[in-house]
């Protein structure tokens, strides 16, 4: 039984992970907020009906969950308990990077929203689901980012929260190791998602270039000279959740085409 948050977009990393786990034989639950997370968001959230339909395409289940609201997270934990009785795998994938700006000028409401979604939300879901992870081989994967290891102008809130996710992963691995629960993070670089395409569009407007030029500029940074795919990220997540990674915990794995060469 696997739960993946932020998995309501067919083109996103969360759904790619869900699809891969389902193909590997897991019963999958995908969740998303199913509401606009901020005005002018880079991609529309799915409706509850769309979320359920998407889940059905991989033989899974769709549940609406707002990871920033205690009661919403608790309701999902209760439903999983009542319907399935346990949880084997958790992927904390939900995240956002709204309103990029220099830190000194960033709107504090957007700063707090980024913290709530990326960092506090990851903690809230984890602590609600950990009591359900009582079977041997249970594991958690948190979606961080190379932005949590490498500072980026105009993305300070996102960088800070993803760095926090990495440290939360390490602390949680220390605390849950005796329970037999492994916790790792994945740190994607440039991956072809709605968020990445939105970022290229924003960059092209600010720097007076075309979207293709914005993409080419980022591809040039990557030693492998290409943008990664959600499916490639899903392969790494599936490995870290599997028994093949049974002696790996507390690590933050880069998947970025070689941009960052240290763990």
What is the token pair recorded at 93?
């994938």
Q: For residue 6, what is the DSSP state?
A: S
Residue with tokens 């199913």: 34
Structure tokens at 80: 């999983």
Residue burial 69-79, b: 16+ Cβ < 10 Å; e: rest? eeebbebbbee
Tokens of 241: 């959740």
Could you tell me the end-to-end alpha-carbon distance of the chain, in angstroms, rounded to an integer? 29
- Sheet-wide strand order for 28-32: 61-64, 28-32, 2-4, 89-92, 139-143, 182-188, 252-255
Q: Distance between CA 143 and CA 119 in Å, rounded?
A: 11
Residues in CB range of 220: below 8 A, 6 or more apart: none
DSSP annotation string for 73-94:
HHHHHHHHHHHTS--SEEEE--
- Number of neighbouring beta carbons within 10 Å of residue 221: 13
42 is known as an active-site residue? no
Distance from CA of residue 229 to its chain's centroid? 14
Enzyme catalytic residues: 158
């Amino acid at each position: 039984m696997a739960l993946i948050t932020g998995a309501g977009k067919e083109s996103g990393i969360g759904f790619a992970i869900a699809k891969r786990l389902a193909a590997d034989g897991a019963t999958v639950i995908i969740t998303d907020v199913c509401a606009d997370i901020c005005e002018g968001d880079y991609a529309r959230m799915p409706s509850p009906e769309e979320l359920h339909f998407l889940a059905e395409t991989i033989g899974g289940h769709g549940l609406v969950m707002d990871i920033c609201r205690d009661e919403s997270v608790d309701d999902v934990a209760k439903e999983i308990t009542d319907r399935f009785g346990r949880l084997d795998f958790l992927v904390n994938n939900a995240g956002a990077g709204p309103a990029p700006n220099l830190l000194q000028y960033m709107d504090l409401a957007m700063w707090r929203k980024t913290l709530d979604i990326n960092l506090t939300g990851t903690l809230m879901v984890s602590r609600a689901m950990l009591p359900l992870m009582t079977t041997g081989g249970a594991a958690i994967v948190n979606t961080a980012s190379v932005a949590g290891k490498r500072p980026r102008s105009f993305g300070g809130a996102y960088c800070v929260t993803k760095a926090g996710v990495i440290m939360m992963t390490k602390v949680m691995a220390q605390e849950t190791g005796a329970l037999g629960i492994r916790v790792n993070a994945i740190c994607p670089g440039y991956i072809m998602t709605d968020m990445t395409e939105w970022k290229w569009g924003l960059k092209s407007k600010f720097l007076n270039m075309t979207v293709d030029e914005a993409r080419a500029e980022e591809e040039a940074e990557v030693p492998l000279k290409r943008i990664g795919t959600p499916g490639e990220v899903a392969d790494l997540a599936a490995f870290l959740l599997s028994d093949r990674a049974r002696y790996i915990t507390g690590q933050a794995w880069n998947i970025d085409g070689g941009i960052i060469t240290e763990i």
